[in-house]
Structure 1
Amino acid sequence: MPDRYAAFCYAPELTAQQCRRFDEAIARFTDSTTGPRDGRTPDYSFHSQTLELPSEQIRQTRDLLRGTFAKAPVSTALVPTSLREGAKKLIVMDVDSTLIQQEVIELLAAHAGRAEEVRAVTEAAMRGELDFEQSLHARVQTLAGLPETVFGEVHEAIRFSPGAERLIRTARAGGHTVAAVSGGFSQILAPIAARLGLDFATANDLEVEDGRLTGRVRGRIIDRAAKAQALRQWSAAVGIPLGASIAIGDGANDLDMMSAAGFSVAFNAKPAVVEAADAAIWRLDLVVDLAGL
């Protein structure tokens, strides 16, 4: 049984030619379209068609749309109308390099004079030589001996990704639930969550004894499986179906969470994450995709 989808293209300034290319791509693939619809978000213009697709054609259609603008500064998305029409949504965001611009472990390591060592461990993990948990423990060990006052210093250095604060403010004003889940650290995420008014937040917990970091993590590791579990738990807690959830991330550690969500957005992401996501933000502004969709 086909489901209804809204197919979008969007850019800072869409041209009439780009809209025609989009319509022609849809027409080549299916004749079951309605629309088009044009409009603007605060930063972007968009053009869309509504179509019905069987599940086996969703990926093919998404890839077709992306290929249409492969060499143009135009993004595309294929969004279930059930998600767009839902009264309340759950938005779950990764933190490092998504909600914020930096990687917290690197900021902490810089205070310990171990930035190069941490970067080397990260690169080993990216090459597949270490899994996330191994990588996390190895990097956290480099922080042993740092005074806990470092948390305040790092927090002062945090910079939100463009559009992040506006996205959260707008979503919460609309009655939606917003959460953050991080492979980073609760000592950094907790004050961020309080400042932004997030409904839920979870991260790893660095062990501190006698005012100094021990180089160990307490409790369960927040890895890719834990991120997906958090999304499911928060969905159940607020009574929002998984189909009405949106997950935003940039790395492999976010893939399980993105797969579990009703809609996934790759933000400044690695190629494998872009390939798996329902939509990708190429310009660094978190408002773009969600405001227009």
Structure 2
Amino acid sequence: MRDTARVVAYARRIDDGQREDLHAVLRGLGADVTAASSATTPTYTVLTLDVGLAAAATAVRSGLARWTAASGVGAALVPSPTYAPGPKLLIMDVDSTLIRQEVIELLAAHAGREAEVAAVTEAAMRGELDFAQSLHHRVRALEGLPATVIGEVVDRIRLSDGAEDLVAAYLHAGHRVGVVSGGFSQVLAPLAERLRLSFAKANDLEILDGTLTGRVAGAVVDRREKARTLRAEADRAGVRPEAVIAVGDGANDLDMLGAAGLGVAFNAKPAVRAAADVALDLPDLDVVRHFAGL
């Protein structure tokens, strides 16, 4: 008996030639298409194909990656437990994923040290620096800033395209959505309330007498803590790990992506793209709901 899975192709637009080409590629990979559907929004088109697999999933993923490189159309192989009926969980990173910016850089701009902090952030997200050490280094740049800058930063945050639609689709279907961030709870809390997220976890900036001390209070939310939070929230909600989708962009997200049934690298660094199940380069988070069958 063949394993069943789903291929989700996505791009700004998918033409008839690309559709036919994808069917041919799948036949060449030993995948029989059993059902097909498509959806078009003002910003993207998604083609969903249910398939039976004769080859191993890794071989099919490799073939789809080659097709994506040649066609410019993204394609994800989604295992059946991820989109099958039942409780689901979506867990996301925040900076450069749920939102467009890096919060610590917005804060550092108030201290005139944005460029310095941005360089360290980039190195940490590429996996070149230990995240906890890099976070402590960057937070020291905030020492002495009035706590009022937090509210100013909150006002500047812009959600990634499709973020609100994705969260709403999950919540409307009765599923849980949460975020776990290497950023800061004081900035994340208003955003979590606005989106009605099921849970939100981040670092706490230490504040004394209305001033940032340049330190983080408590343990750092690092890559291990992100994966631990995923497992704990899935267990709390009665969701199988195979029905969890995790989305992130940096090295700090790698353990979380690996712990999920489907790990999605969103406009991500090369090391994260290589390790994830799906590389979503189309800058619209709403595409993710199609991986879950929503």
TM range (shorter): over 0.9
SS in structure 1 at match of 2:69 = coil
1:159-174 to 2 correspondence within 5 Å? 159-174=158-173
Partner of 1:282: 281
1:36-185 to 2 correspondence within 5 Å? 36-42=35-41, 43-52=44-53, 57-125=56-124, 130-185=129-184
Which stretches in structure 2 are left out of the alignment for 5+ residues? none
Q: 1:126 to 1:210 in 2, by over 3 A?
A: same
Aligned-residue CA RMSD (Å): 1.8
Deviation at 1:281, TM superposition (A): 1.8
CA distance in 2, matches of 1:147, 1:93: 29
Deviation at 1:225, TM superposition (A): 0.5
Instruction: Confirm or deny: 8 A CA contact 1:6 1:78 kept in the other structure.
Output: yes
1:205-216 to 2 correspondence within 5 Å? 205-216=204-215
Partner of 2:235: 236
CA distance in 1, matches of 2:54, 2:253: 27
Which amino acid is 2:24 matched to?
E
SS in structure 1 at match of 2:100 = coil
Per-residue deviation, residues 15-40 of structure 1 (Å, max 9, x unmatched): 2221221122111121x524241221
Which amino acid is 1:164 matched to?
A
Instruction: Confirm or deny: 8 A CA contact 1:225 1:256 kept in the other structure.
Output: yes
Which stretches in structure 1 are left out of the alignment for 5+ residues? none
Instruction: Confirm or deny: 8 A CA contact 2:125 2:252 kept in the other structure.
Output: no
1:210-289 to 2 correspondence within 5 Å? 210-289=209-288
CA distance in 2, matches of 1:93, 1:121: 22
Aligned residues: 290
Does 120-129 or 17-26 show the bigger shift?
Answer: 120-129
SS in structure 1 at match of 2:71 = coil
Which amino acid is 2:104 matched to?
I
Which amino acid is 2:19 matched to?
C
SS in structure 2 at match of 1:69 = helix
Q: 1:196 to 1:175 in 2, by over 3 A?
A: same
CA distance in 2, matches of 1:9, 1:219: 42
Instruction: Confirm or deny: 8 A CA contact 1:5 1:53 kept in the other structure.
Output: no
Does 205-214 or 265-274 show the bigger shift?
Answer: 265-274
Which amino acid is 1:269 matched to?
A
CA distance in 2, matches of 1:18, 1:127: 33
Per-residue deviation, residues 177-234 of structure 1 (Å, max 9, x unmatched): 0000100000111111011100010001110001101111011110111000000010
Deviation at 1:46, TM superposition (A): 0.7
CA distance in 2, matches of 1:38, 1:237: 34
CA distance in 2, matches of 1:199, 1:78: 27
SS in structure 2 at match of 1:5 = strand
Q: 1:172 to 1:124 in 2, by over 3 A?
A: closer
Deviation at 1:262, TM superposition (A): 0.7
Which amino acid is 2:18 matched to?
Q
Identical-residue share of aligned pairs (%): 50
CA distance in 2, matches of 1:74, 1:129: 30
Which amino acid is 1:245 matched to?
V
CA distance in 2, matches of 1:206, 1:275: 32
Partner of 1:26: 26
Which amino acid is 1:11 matched to?
A
